[in-house]
């Protein structure tokens, strides 16, 4: 095979070396009483074949190879509970990695009567949370075309001043939390033409809902990218904080964010829009350039002299569903600002790594995709969805409370485990007890293989597309792995 054998390539092009016999066995298995009946796609078959052929030590039988990822029987909902902060994000007294799912117009879709699509979306989020071993959090906008119609949302409306819409919003939150175990990250979508009195009344209403149902809500954000979605009188962090304080006065123990005001994630923006009392920053992370640039920028948001040591990533880069073009001119390309959407779409494991890396960098990751702007399909079918669950589940639950975050450059010679190169970054998160997680990825431009030098003894597990296994690194050793899609190392110093 001349093409590089990667999991992503296999799902698109892989031959069926076991041919008709294996395919017939797999299809019979799915038609049996023991398995969930569903239509098997070509990608389903290729995924199962990959496990049976290349990961036979972990998946020696069809039963093992089809467990979990392709088991769509109902999953138990996570046990919801208020998320707090104590050197890291917590729930029920334990550290966790909250996992956001961006679903901007989902509340409006429910208000419009698209109930089955809403239930399907919550079911997908629940299953993602179960597979990732953590709490799923749905970010949805609570206003769209409130007083001013934007052409992008022509003919649609979510008006949080409307009593009927308020009733439907509250039911939407109830269904997500009580029926599916999904908590909510709420944010106004726009307020152009809205008066101060109307906004204050909205926040008084929201404060009462949060008071009556505190476990429904993970994060209360004032408004989405407020510099572009409101009138000029609201373009002042003090005014936005005043609005948010209406809810906070009634519910002081919840987590809050003002706004990713311009959506640029710069240090200046974070400094201006992070209240003194907030233990973390809130950002819409950088989407420009290549995928490695986006990972590196996310690292920088909480590294050393950052505004805060922790963050919440609300609208990161995401999966623009096909057809797409550079510049996002194609239908379904609703995640704007992506110079190279194909970097993620053509290798979705990278996106799972990016979600995990965000958590390693002490920031709450949020899965972003076209359906998360305009709901046009199932979240579970979006590339990168299952890879995100796999890698988040693999991380230590207290990863955001690890003591040190540093890179693999020469400045950290003697501390780093793997030395970075001119072309490849190696970011480290290390706990005082010796546990250390490393994220390896191209610095910017695509890289195939790279020789990496080991500077400290370490033992653990590595994760690459379709491949995982134990590995021991010895001081002075060098090895040359494929780094085109990145590598995640989870283990400890020895």
The domain boundary residue, chosen from 18, 37, 65: 65
What average pLDDT does this structure show over 240-263? Answer: 96
Same-domain status, 347 and 425: no
Same-domain status, 233 and 307: yes
The answer to whether residue 2 sits within a structural domain is no
The answer to whether residue 94 sits within a structural domain is yes
pLDDT exceeds 70 at position 60 = yes
Same-domain status, 287 and 429: no
Structural tokens at position 56 = 């036979």
The answer to whether residue 1 sits within a structural domain is no
Label residue 5 by pLDDT band (50, 70, 90).
very low
Residues in the chain: 494
Q: Which helix (H) or strand (E) holds 436?
A: strand 435-442
Specify the number of domains making up the chain. 3
Task: List pLDDT tens digits, range 275-290.
Answer: 999 999 999 999 999 9
Same-domain status, 57 and 192: no
> What per-residue confidence (pLDDT) applies to 445?
87
pLDDT exceeds 90 at position 155 = yes
Label residue 75 by pLDDT band (50, 70, 90).
very low
Structural tokens at position 36 = 């969930």
pLDDT exceeds 70 at position 17 = no
| Residue tagged 């005043």 (tokens) | 242
Q: DSSP readout, 71-97? A: --SPPPPP----EEESSSEEETTEE--
The domain boundary residue, chosen from 345, 374, 401: 401
Task: List pLDDT tens digits, range 424-453.
Answer: 999 999 999 999 999 999 998 899 999 999
The domain boundary residue, chosen from 36, 65, 94: 65
Label residue 262 by pLDDT band (50, 70, 90).
confident
Same-domain status, 119 and 242: yes
Same-domain status, 238 and 331: yes
pLDDT exceeds 60 at position 71 = no
Strands 99-102 and 366-367: parallel
Instruction: Round to whole Å and give the CA distance between 361 and 347.
Output: 22
> What per-residue confidence (pLDDT) applies to 465?
93
| CATH number of the domain where residue 190 is located | 3.20.20.80
The answer to whether residue 300 sits within a structural domain is yes
Mean pLDDT for the chain overall: 88
Burial class of 259 by CB neighbour count within 10 A (0 to 12, 13 to 18, 19+) = buried
The answer to whether residue 75 sits within a structural domain is no
Cβ atoms of 430 and 399 closer than 8 Å: no
> What per-residue confidence (pLDDT) applies to 109?
96
pLDDT exceeds 70 at position 149 = yes
Same-domain status, 278 and 239: yes
Task: List pLDDT tens digits, range 123-135.
Answer: 999 999 999 999 9
pLDDT exceeds 70 at position 491 = yes
> What per-residue confidence (pLDDT) applies to 367?
98
Label residue 362 by pLDDT band (50, 70, 90).
very high
What average pLDDT does this structure show over 381-403? Answer: 96
Same-domain status, 186 and 256: yes
Q: For the chain, give the percent of residues with pLDDT over 90.
A: 75
pLDDT exceeds 80 at position 338 = yes
> What per-residue confidence (pLDDT) applies to 174?
96
**Cβ neighbours of residue 167 closer than 8 Å, sequence gap 6 or more:** none
Q: What is the CA radius of gyration of the chain?
A: 23
Label residue 30 by pLDDT band (50, 70, 90).
low
Alpha-carbon dihedral sign for residues 35, 38, 43, 45: positive
For 274-302, give one letter per residue: b (16+ CB within 10 A) or e: beeebebbbbbbbbebbbbbbbbbbbebb
The answer to whether residue 76 sits within a structural domain is no
> What per-residue confidence (pLDDT) applies to 23?
61
| CATH number of the domain where residue 441 is located | 2.60.40
Q: Which structural domain, as residue segments, surrounds residue 54? A: 7-65
Same-domain status, 364 and 410: no
What average pLDDT does this structure show over 266-272? Answer: 91
What average pLDDT does this structure show over 205-230? Answer: 97
Task: List pLDDT tens digits, range 81-115.
Answer: 899 999 999 999 999 999 999 999 999 999 999 99
The answer to whether residue 78 sits within a structural domain is no
Same-domain status, 489 and 441: yes
The answer to whether residue 52 sits within a structural domain is yes
Q: DSSP readout, 144-197? A: BSSSS--GGGTT--B-TTSHHHHHHHHHHHHIIIIIH--EEEEEE---TT--HH
> What per-residue confidence (pLDDT) applies to 332?
54
Same-domain status, 201 and 141: yes
What average pLDDT does this structure show over 160-169? Answer: 96
Cβ atoms of 485 and 447 closer than 8 Å: no
Same-domain status, 390 and 431: no
What average pLDDT does this structure show over 368-393? Answer: 94
Q: What angle do CA 370, 373, 374 make, to 5 degrees?
A: 85
Residue 7 main-chain phi, psi, to 5 deg = -60, -45
Instruction: Round to whole Å and give the CA distance between 363 and 348.
Output: 20
pLDDT exceeds 50 at position 184 = yes
Q: Any idea what DSSP says for residue 41?
A: P
pLDDT exceeds 50 at position 18 = no
How far, CA to CA in Å, does 308 sit from each of 275, 335, 362, 378?
A: 11, 27, 10, 35
Q: Any idea what DSSP says for residue 399?
A: G
Task: List pLDDT tens digits, range 324-334.
Answer: 544 444 555 68
pLDDT exceeds 70 at position 423 = yes
């Amino acid at each position: 095979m001349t093409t590089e054998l990667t999991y992503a390539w296999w799902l698109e092009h892989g031959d069926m070396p076991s041919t008709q016999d294996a395919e017939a066995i797999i299809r019979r298995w799915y038609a049996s009483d023991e398995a969930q009946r569903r239509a098997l796609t070509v990608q389903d078959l290729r995924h199962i074949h990959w496990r049976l052929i290349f990961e036979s030590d972990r998946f020696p039988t069809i039963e093992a190879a089809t467990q979990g990822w392709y088991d769509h029987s109902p999953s138990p909902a996570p046990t919801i509970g208020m998320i707090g902060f104590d050197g890291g994000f917590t729930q029920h007294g334990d550290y966790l990695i909250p996992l956001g799912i961006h679903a901007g117009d989902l509340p409006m879709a429910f208000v419009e009567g698209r109930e089955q699509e809403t239930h399907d979306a919550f079911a997908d989020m629940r299953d993602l949370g179960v597979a990732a071993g953590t709490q799923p959090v749905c970010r949805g906008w609570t206003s769209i075309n409130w007083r001013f119609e934007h052409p992008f949302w022509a003919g649609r409306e979510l008006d949080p001043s409307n009593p009927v819409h308020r009733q439907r919003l509250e039911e939407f939150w109830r269904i997500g939390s009580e029926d599916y175990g999904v908590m909510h990250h709420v944010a106004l979508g726009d307020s152009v033409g809205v008066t101060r009195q109307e906004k204050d009344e909205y926040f008084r209403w929201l404060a009462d809902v949060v008071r009556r149902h505190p476990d429904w809500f993970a994060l209360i954000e004032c408004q989405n990218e407020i510099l572009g979605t409101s009138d000029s009188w609201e373009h002042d962090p003090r005014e936005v904080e005043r609005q948010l304080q209406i809810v906070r006065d009634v519910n002081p123990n919840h987590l809050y964010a003002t706004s990713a005001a311009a959506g640029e994630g710069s240090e200046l923006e974070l400094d201006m829009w992070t209240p003194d009392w907030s233990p973390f920053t809130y950002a819409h992370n950088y989407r420009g350039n290549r995928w490695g640039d986006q990972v590196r920028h996310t690292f920088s948001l909480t590294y050393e002299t950052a505004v805060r040591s922790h963050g919440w990533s609300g609208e990161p880069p995401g999966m623009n569903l096909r057809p797409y073009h550079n510049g996002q001119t194609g239908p379904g390309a609703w995640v704007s600002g992506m110079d190279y959407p194909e970097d993620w779409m053509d290798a979705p494991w990278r996106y799972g790594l990016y979600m995990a890396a965000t958590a390693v960098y002490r920031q709450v990751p949020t899965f972003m995709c076209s359906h998360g702007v305009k709901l046009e399909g199932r979240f579970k079918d979006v590339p990168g969805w299952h890879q995100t669950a796999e890698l988040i589940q693999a991380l230590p639950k207290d990863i955001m409370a690890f003591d040190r975050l540093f890179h693999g450059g020469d400045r950290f010679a003697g501390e780093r485990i793997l030395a970075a190169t001119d072309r490849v970054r190696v970011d480290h998160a290390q706990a005082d007890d010796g546990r250390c997680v490393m994220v390896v990825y191209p610095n910017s431009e695509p890289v195939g293989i790279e020789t990496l030098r080991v500077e400290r003894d370490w033992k653990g597990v590595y994760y690459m597309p379709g491949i995982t296994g134990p590995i021991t690194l010895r001081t002075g050793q060098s090895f040359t792995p494929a780094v085109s899609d990145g590598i995640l190392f989870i283990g400890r110093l020895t």
